Amino acid sequence: PNGEKLSFLLMSLPTVQASARGTLLSLTEEHISQLIREAVQVQRHCKRARIHLPNNDTTKNSTAGKDKDRAGVVKRRLHAEDINMALQWRGSEKIYATGTVGFRNSSSSRGRGGQDKKVVLEEYLKSEMDLKPPQEVGLTVHWLAVDGTQPDIPQNPASNKNKRKAIVHRVEEEEEADAAGDTGDGVQVMQLLPRLLSEELQLYFSRITTAVERGGMTPVERQQQDAALRSLARDSGLQELVPFMINYVTRNLKRHMGSPEHCRTLVRMASSLLVNPHIHLELYLHQLLPAILTMVVAQRLSSKPWDNHWSLRYEAALCLVQACNQFGNDYATLKPRILRTLCDAVGPDKSLPTQYGGIVGISLFGPKAINAFILPLALDYWKQWNEALTRLEDLEQRMEVQMCQQATLNALSVFLGPTNHEAPEAMDMEWEELEDTFGDPLVMLSTNETEYAMCFI
């Protein structure tokens, strides 16, 4: 029927010649027949078939068995998808708006007394705008992890951050917990992945963290803690524990920031990891160094004014310098970035404890760093500190000023020490300016035979 309709349309065209119409008709019939043959091949390979049951009248008049009467007849017919696949096979554009579900012939529906559903075009167009067009199947690229952290994007699975973490070890033993009447508030250790770590490594991690958490209040506990840190500094086969150790140190430094003694132990633990020749920390420096740097330049590290947070800042600065000396050749920007942070801490708008941490940290980098970053500020700061000591009455504030002065004198002793043969010639200021500002303490720091020192002697 479609071929006859097409022939009728071609014959009805007045501008087409008879020879051209014949050629078009033959080409059209050839293409349609070839398309149908290819669609039949596709339909046969797809094994599409329809089982049609015979009518009830036929089954009543038949004399065969009941099962044989109800046997259906398999009829094969072309489907719209077969035509589309055949067109795609030939490289032609496929037919859209095919395979509509729920379509029924209007003549058959009227014969059964049904009515076609009326469609309002405006509503149909509005509803069609809400639907997203179908997308072709393909591949996309996304970030699975960035610096070891899984980004929160729809392509990645959601991380269950609210899931409670199980407990695999308690610091208190059962007998001690029963004797003390513990109600379950003991120190808890993060759950280790049993598939990644052996039982020996889990036990080692538990023993190390137990010794760190118990502290060194008694001589026995202090010996156990020192032994654990020495073991951490020289034992081999601990590379699998490195991410857990780094995570433990950084998390507890943030949690126990108001306890200087416990933070000192954690800084010693980080130093032990740095000096261990059998492990590699290159992939974890971005997690460890910011936490250590915070222990150097934080504004307040103790909840009580009499806590010794000055030694914590000094030991954390030693740990920073140790990391720079160990990894500075591999990472060219490591030392400049740390020095930039320490120089910002020495600024005039910072608090005295922060300035102390900056001065101590810069002085540990050697005479050149002292000459570049501390000496230009030492003269003005020393005069301000002397004026502050004359008017301050608060003991805590006076202690902060005196500790900053002591850190500055220690930096000058490093610069004027016997290892720096270029001092004082390498200074960017005159020697008389130092003599007028610091006075007598400068004589004890200088090892060179200056005119001021000889007059004093």
Between CA 16 and CA 14 the distance in angstroms is 6
pLDDT per position as a tens digit, 229-277: 999 999 988 888 999 999 999 999 998 888 888 999 999 999 999 999 9
Predicted pLDDT of residue 48: 66
> How many helices (DSSP H) and strands (DSSP E) are in the chain?
22, 2
Q: Which of 24-38, 125-139, 307-321, 400-414 has the lowest mean pLDDT?
A: 125-139
Q: Considering only 38-52, 245-259, 276-290, 300-314, which range has the smallest mean pLDDT?
A: 38-52
Are 404 and 352 a contacting pair, CB within 8 Å? yes
The structure tokens listed for 267 are: 């800084």
In one-letter notation, the amino acid at residue 205 is F
pLDDT digits (tens, 9 = 90+) for 127-181: 766 666 666 677 788 888 877 777 888 777 776 554 444 333 333 333 344 444 4
Q: Where does the pLDDT of residue 55 fall: very low under 50, low under 70, confident under 90, or very high at 90 and above?
A: low
- Tell me the backbone φ, ψ of residue 116, rounded to 5 degrees: -70, 145
Of the listed ranges 23-27, 52-56, 62-66, 287-291, the least confidently predicted one is 62-66
Q: Give pLDDT, residue 122.
A: 80
In 3D, which of 380, 369, 381 has the Cα closest to residue 405?
381
The number of beta carbons lying within 10 Å of the beta carbon of residue 19 is: 8
Find tokens 């014959």 and name the residue. Answer: 11
Helix (H, G, I), strand (E, B) or coil at 135: coil
Q: Does pLDDT of 291 surpass 90?
A: yes
**Span 79-108, mean pLDDT?**
67
Between CA 162 and CA 229 the distance in angstroms is: 33
How far apart, in whole angstroms, are the C-alpha atoms of residue 95 and residue 452? 101
Q: Quick one: average pLDDT of 52-69?
A: 50
Instruction: Summarize the confidence of residues 326-348 as an average pLDDT.
Output: 91
Instruction: Name the band, by pLDDT with cuts 50, 70 and 90, for residue 100.
Output: very low
Q: Give pLDDT, residue 53.
A: 55
Looking at residue 63, its pLDDT comes to 46
Residue 49 confidence (pLDDT): 58
Please check whether residue 82 is in contact with residue 43, taking contact to mean a CB–CB distance below 8 angstroms: yes
Q: What is the mean pLDDT of the chain?
A: 75
Average pLDDT over residues 30-43: 86
E strand residue ranges, 212-304: none
Question: Which residues have a Cβ under 8 Å from the Cβ of 347 and sit 6 or more positions away?
Answer: 355
Q: What band does 358 get if pLDDT is binned at 50, 70 and 90?
A: very high
**pLDDT tens, 338-355?**
999 999 999 989 999 999
Instruction: Decide: 163 and 149 in contact? Cβ < 8 Å.
Output: no
Tell me the average pLDDT across 325-348: 91
Q: Which two tokens stand for residue 353?
A: 């404890």
Contact 225, 211 (CB under 8 A): yes
User: Is residue 271 classed exposed, middle or buried when 0-12, 13-18 and 19+ CB atoms within 10 A define those classes?
Assistant: buried
**Residue 82's closest CA among 71, 90, 73, 74?**
90
| pLDDT at position 334 | 92
For position 159, what pLDDT does the model report? 64
Instruction: Using a pLDDT cut of 70, give the percent of the chain over it.
Output: 66
Q: How far is CA 241 from CA 70, 235, 335, in A?
A: 72, 12, 27
